[in-house]
Amino acid sequence: MAIKLLTFDLDNTLWDVESIVTRAEKVMRAWIRQHHPEFVQAFDFRQFIALRDAVLRDRADIAHDFTSLRLEVLRRAFAGVGYAPVDVEAAAQGAFEEYFRERNVVEYFPGALEALRDLREDFSIYALSNGNADVGRIGLGHIFSQHFSAISVGAPKPDPRMFHAAIAAAGVSPHEVIHIGDHPEQDVAAAAAVGMRTIWVNFGGLEWPALPPADAELRHFTDLPRLVRQLAAR
């Protein structure tokens, strides 16, 4: 086969991330209410949005790092209501851990896990994600032999560094890789720009934007093994 490596985006490719984040936020806030009632009396949770905007303005260096970004927002929130520095850190870490545990409880799109297991028999599989999902906690450590993220490479897709890191780690040429992802620019166009083949995950039946098309389009994961092997056979 001409294809040796498959790289997968995670959020909104293998699962719906918005519902996961919404649930994780609720769990985190419930934990804060239980363990820090004095904080809740002084802080309106709607202020988290303004704090996040402030962190993004002040700390452009961590804008790509969703873990550091959320922790900094939490630190500023607890500090803002008068927590001592040592208590700020403990409270922020505790709240984040509640969020992060739930953030890594996923419901796969139908057929996704089965397709990954099928493809693992013939290809190396890496994860490439702008988010902070932990493939070990999720239970995909046996599927993905490498995981590159915006945090680990220092920049999010469509920056080419994540793709180059995967190519170098696998010791392959770009044309020996298929990248599978849902985002036309961050996944498809960015991967194609470094020479990879691409599959666009389009479960919503969206119109393709004004960009060079992907090599294939995926509407359901049951079709993925066939699409990959068709591309590999070209």
Which pTM value belongs to this model? 0.94
Predicted local confidence at residue 43, as pLDDT: 96
Question: Residue 52 belongs to a domain with what CATH number?
Answer: 1.20.120.1600
Same-domain status, 95 and 114: no
Alpha helix (H) ranges present in the chain? 17-35, 37-42, 47-58, 66-80, 85-103, 112-120, 135-138, 150-153, 161-170, 190-193, 224-233
Q: How many domains does the chain have?
A: 2
Q: If you count them, how many residues does the chain have? A: 234
Judge if 10 and 27 occupy the same domain.
no
Taking only the tens place, the pLDDT of each residue in 52-110 is: 999 999 999 999 999 999 999 999 999 999 999 999 999 999 999 999 999 999 999 99
- Residue 225's φ and ψ, nearest 5 degrees, are -55, -40
Please count the other Cβ atoms lying within 10 Å of the Cβ belonging to residue 188.
Answer: 30
With contact defined as beta carbons under 8 Å apart, do 166 and 128 qualify? yes
Quote the pLDDT of residue 92: 98
Q: What is the predicted pLDDT for the residue at 90?
A: 98
Q: List own/partner pairs for 115-118 with CB under 8 A and 24 or more apart.
A: 115/221, 115/222, 115/224, 115/225, 116/8, 116/14, 116/140, 116/143, 117/143, 118/225
Res 234: pLDDT: 81
Structural domain ending residue among the three candidates 103, 127, 158: 103
pLDDT for res 1: 58
Q: Give the residue numbers spanning the domain of 222.
A: 5-16+108-233
Tokens (6 digits) for 13: 């490719």
**Residue 205: predicted pLDDT:** 93
Do 125 and 113 fall into the same domain?
yes
Pick the last residue of a domain from 103, 131, 156. Answer: 103
Do residues 198 and 220 both lie within one domain? yes
CATH number at residue 134: 3.40.50.1000
Is the confidence at residue 199, as pLDDT, over 90? yes
